[in-house]
Amino acid sequence: MPEQVRTRTARRRPGGELDLVFQALADPTRRAVVARLARGPAAVTELARPFSMALPSFVQHLDVLERAGLASSRKRGRVRTYELVPAHLSHAQDWLAAQRDLWHRRLDQLDEHLAATATSHHVDSASGLGDPSSRPSSHVGAPGPDHPKEHPA
């Protein structure tokens, strides 16, 4: 009997591939299947063996992985075998790397700002401007010559 290859993917929209990958990886069962497929192709029954669920329910997990482009399947006779499609995992890895780089840059900028602020505060303290008691009061309505303290009646 000829071999049938199937790769099901949902209609693509901008950013949709990445959304599907993260949705597929959000479930621990599917993450475990991806980890198993990383070691090599496997038949549905072998993939389902470690999980305590009905085979039709497990096959739904495989369908989600296939729609996300993380897995593809081949059917030879009555046996359907799945294999990992690592290219879609690399899309998620690339996106995560870009986010990590962005946040490293932002945290570096925050470090620089805090260091500059600490240096500025140290300079103010040395000149006496760092001591709040040496600064004129800028609070509206604060007690002073124009605003005597109110005494309780």
Percent of the chain residues past pLDDT 90, beyond the cut: 46
Q: 4-85 has which CATH code?
A: 1.10.10.10
Above 60 in pLDDT, residue 91? yes
pLDDT value at position 8?
53
Single pTM value for the model: 0.60
The residue-averaged pLDDT of 80-93 equals 89
Selected residue with higher pLDDT from 22 and 153:
22
Query: What b/e sequence results for 15-51 when a residue is b if at least 16 CB atoms lie within 10 Å of its CB, and e otherwise?
Result: eebeebbeebbeeebbeebbebbeeeebebeebbeee
pLDDT value at position 17?
82
The residue-averaged pLDDT of 79-101 equals 89
